[in-house]
Amino acid sequence: MVNIGVLETSTLDKINGKNVYGCSWCLGINTYKAVDPIVFSFTGGYRFNLNDSTDRKVGNYWLLRPGVSFAANDRTTLSANLKWTGKNPDRIKGKRVGTFASDTYADFGVGYSFTNQTSISVDAQ
C-alpha cells in the first residue's frame, strides 16, 4: 500500500472581480493498493479558504474519491471512480448564504502509455 500526503494551494483566485492570492488550501491523502492487474485507490481531502480580504468567503469543502483501475494490457488502463464533495455555504459579510450542499459523481476513464515516459488519459463524468 502506498500513501501520499497532499498539500496544495491556489496561486490566484478571482472573487467578486478582485484578485486574491494564496487564500485557498487543500490538505489530503492519496492511497493506493495494487492487486495485479487491479489498483484500488482512495483520495480524501479538505479544502479551506483563508480569504479575509473580500466581503465574500467561499465555503470550505470535503472531498472523498474511491476508485478502481484495471490494466487491460501492458499499455492500456481502464478506470472508474466515485467523487463525493460536501461544501459548506459561502459567507457574505459574515452571514451564511445558502446551506450545506453535497454532490456525487461517477467518472470513467482510459489511459494509454506510448512509452515509459509518455502517456495520456481521458476521463468522462
Each residue's pLDDT expressed in tens, for the chain with a length of 125 residues: 788 898 888 888 777 777 877 788 899 999 999 998 999 999 999 998 887 666 778 889 999 999 999 999 999 999 999 999 999 998 888 889 989 999 999 999 999 999 999 999 999 98
Domain that holds residue 107: 2-124
Q: String of b and e for 26-62 (b: at least 16 CB within 10 Å)?
A: bebeeeeeeeeeebebebbbebebebeebeebbbbbe
How far is the C-alpha of 72 from the C-alpha of 109, rounded, in Å? 12
Distance CA 28, CA 47 (A): 9
Cell numbers at 109, concatenated: 476513464
pTM of the model: 0.75
The total domain count for the chain is 1
All three cell numbers of 79, joined, read: 478506470
